[in-house]
Amino acid sequence: MKPAPFAYHAPASVEEAVRLLTTLEDAKVLAGGQSLVPLLNFRLARPAHLVDINGIPGLDRIYERDGGVALQALVRQADAEASELLRSRCPLVPEALRHVAHAVIRNRGTVVGSIAHADPAAELPAVLLALNGEVHVQGPRGVRDIPAADFFRGVLESALEPDELALEAWFPAFTGAHGIREESRRHGDYAMAGAVRAGDRLALFGVAPTPVVADPHHPAKDIRPSGDLEATPEFRRHLVEVMTRELFAA
Amino acid sequence: MRVNGVERPLPHDPRTLLSDHLRHNLRLTGTHVGCEHGVCGCCTVLLDGRPVRSCLLLAVQANGHEVTTIEGLAPAGGPLHPIQRAFHEAHALQCGFCTPGFVLAVKGFLDAHPNPSDAEIDEGISGNLCRCTGYANIRKAVKQAAAQAR
């Protein structure tokens, strides 16, 4: 038995899920589980309650709204990667998804879950930030949209309240110049550093506690990346310079 | 949950991982367990036909779904599945520990890419680790299985 004990809840509707999140102390939402379950297996996370939203029907749509594309909470990364709608309206998203872990992980992992998890080295939060996307959430006080610029607060920390459920990620349609670069020691690992271009906007990941917007002309100016076994701060800054140059050379 | 076409009980404790449920409770020990955090790919099974990591799924989450393990790919005592045969013929295994995960990952991969390029094959098997350095032959086996299926 790897995870510590928890009470398991499988709500059948969004309302029931929000009710559970509102009433339960120390509850965590389980969607694709590709980040959460490793944390449970290592007992780095030991929530008292798991609210598994996988049984909620009608929460796996990719659809157009408000001049962009919305992905609901149970859209698997593999399905977003193959989505014709995203490829035509928002091609940066499927391109970035190819860098997210491995194909088998993407069969289960969700786009919204990856954003809500707010890992600073993850691709999708940086893509949301580069595109000025939003997270649509529902809580006991109703629904609200949180712009990407306000959503990411720190390492694995977002503006989601404990009683709120992230329902959709919304990406504005964008077919201009775009791209993503990242460098990792092993294929499929989290990036040592990465960069996302959407038009004139540049977002960096893996170099700060959250994804950050940077100046394409001086991308490493305001970042103070940490060093670890994989990369020194200087090497991360170097990677950022090189990747930005490549992205904006086209 | 259905495992290899047969209705099987769920575990009593919701924190039981699918990998552990298959091995310890259902005695389907063909699913191997390596890293237990989604990196090595050993424990890959099919969930409703799609390869997933069974160590990153709670067994209760398979409720109402169809799980296929390596035992379900070809009937016991019968001929090998074409992918298993290709692995055998191309010498795509040495110790065999990673093989069930590879075979099921390749099954899902070839179902989605019946005519894969070399680059797609490399991408398709990149989520599984083999420490006997068998990748060249594994790549060969995937090509052979794809050719046989056509």
Chain B residue with Cα closest to A6: B15
Q: Do A33 and B108 touch (CB under 8 A)?
A: no
pTM: 0.95
Q: How far is A139 from chain B (nearest CA, A)?
A: 24
Q: Of B37, B41, B51, which is closest to A41 when you measure between CB atoms?
A: B37
Alpha helices (H) along chain B: 18-20, 82-89, 99-112, 118-125, 135-149
Sole residue written with tokens 């009433």: A23
Question: What tokens appear for B75 in the block?
Answer: 């009937």
The per-residue pLDDT for range A100-125, each reduced to its tens digit, is: 999 999 999 999 999 999 999 999 99
ipTM computed for the complex: 0.94
The per-residue pLDDT for range B27-43, each reduced to its tens digit, is: 999 999 999 999 999 99
What is the C-alpha to C-alpha distance for residues A94 and B11, in angstroms, rounded to an integer?
37
Q: How far is A77 from chain B (nearest CA, A)?
A: 13
Q: Do B58 and A33 touch (CB under 8 A)?
A: yes
Instruction: Kindly list the residues from chain A whose CB atom is less than 8 angstroms away from the CB atom of residue B44.
Output: 104
**Between the CA of residue A212 and those of A68, A117, A153, A240, what are the distances in Å?**
22, 16, 11, 12
Q: Do A41 and B36 touch (CB under 8 A)?
A: yes
Q: Of B47, B60, B126, which is closest to A8 when you measure between CB atoms?
A: B60
Chain A residue with Cα closest to B19: A1
Question: What tokens appear for A221 in the block?
Answer: 């100016």
What is the C-alpha to C-alpha distance for residues A157 and A216, in angstroms, rounded to an integer?
26
Q: Which helix (H) or strand (E) holds A138?
A: strand A134-139
Q: Of B57, B60, B123, which is closest to A103 when you measure between CB atoms?
A: B123
Query: Could you give the 3-state DSSP secondary structure of residue A238?
Result: helix
**Residue A1 pLDDT class (50, 70, 90 cuts):** low
Chain B residue with Cα closest to A39: B37
B 65-104 residues with CB < 8 A to A: none
Q: Do A37 and B51 touch (CB under 8 A)?
A: no
The per-residue pLDDT for range A181-217, each reduced to its tens digit, is: 999 988 778 899 999 999 999 999 999 999 999 999 9
Averaged pLDDT for residues B122-133: 92
Q: How many beta-carbon contacts under 8 Å exist across A and B?
A: 88
Question: What tokens appear for A158 in the block?
Answer: 């977002």
Task: Note the pLDDT of residue B149.
Answer: 84
Q: What is the DSSP letter of B94?
A: S
The distance from CA B131 to its chain's CA centroid, rounded to whole angstroms, is 17
